[in-house]
Amino acid sequence: KTELDSQMKYQTIFSALFFGLSFADAASSGNKVGEPRCDFFDEIKMAGFAELINTNDDDLLYPNSSGYPIIKSGDMTIGEVYTGIAGVPTQLGTSGALVFGEIEIAYKSVCIVTKDQDPIPSSPTCFYEFELAYCVPTPVVSNPDKTNPPNQGRRTLRGIPLNDNKCRNGRFTAHGSGPDNLQITGGSDDFFGAFGQIKTPNPFDFDQADVDPDTGDLETSSIDMIIELCFYDDR
C-alpha cells in the first residue's frame, strides 16, 4: 500500500466517525417527560426452558431420591426465552370490548438461590428482562368535515369503528422473590421510566418428568403473570 492509500483510509475512518458523532444527542438539563400512563393486563401464561447452573460441583441428585436435584445457596437457573402462550394476542375488558391487541411478550431471567433448599425450600431471587409489544384500539372521533372518514372495516366487539391502532414496543426490567409481587424497576423505548408490579397468582409450574436427571435442566415450565405496567407517555 502507498502512503496515499493509507492517508485516504484514515480520512475515510475519520469522516465516518465525525458523521456518527454529529448525530449524537447534546447534553441538556430540565427535560420534560410525558404524563404517567398505566396499562393493566389480564393473566398471561409464560412458558419456556430453564437451565440449572450447579455452582457447587456436587452430585446432582440425592442418593436413592425421587430425582429432584440438590439445590444449594449460590446455584442459579437461567431462562433464556420464556414466551406468552395464553392470554395473548388479545385481551378483552369486562364488557367484552377489545382492550389490547397484537400482544407479543417474552422474557429472559436469572434466578439465584439464596438458601440451601434441603430440608425446607424457599424462593430464589430473580431478575427479568421483558420485551413487550401491543396495540390499544382507538375509537374514531366524529369528523363532520369528512376529511378523515372512519375505517368502516374495523370495529370493536361493541361495534365502535376503529382508527389506526396505537401500538407500543419496548423493554422493561423486574426483580423479586415469590410468592410476593415482582417489582418493575425501569424501562426503555415506549416504556421509558417503567414502574409497577407483576403478580404471580400461581406457583411456578413444571412436571417432574421434564427435569433432566443428569443436569437438572427443565425442558419446559410455566408461570402465570398479571402485569401492571406504568411508564411516561410522550405521545
Q: What is the model's pLDDT at position 159?
A: 55
For the segment 75-125, what is each residue's pLDDT rounded down to a tens digit?
A: 899 998 999 999 999 999 999 999 999 999 999 999 999 888 777 777 889
Question: What is the signed CA dihedral for 104, 108, 114, 117, rounded to 10 degrees?
Answer: 80
Distance of alpha carbon 196 from alpha carbon 172, whole angstroms: 10
For the segment 186-215, what is each residue's pLDDT rounded down to a tens digit?
A: 999 999 999 999 999 988 888 878 888 778
Q: What is the model's pLDDT at position 150?
A: 47
Distance of alpha carbon 95 from alpha carbon 77, whole angstroms: 40
Is pLDDT larger for residue 191 or for residue 10?
191
Residue range 157-168: mean pLDDT, rounded = 60
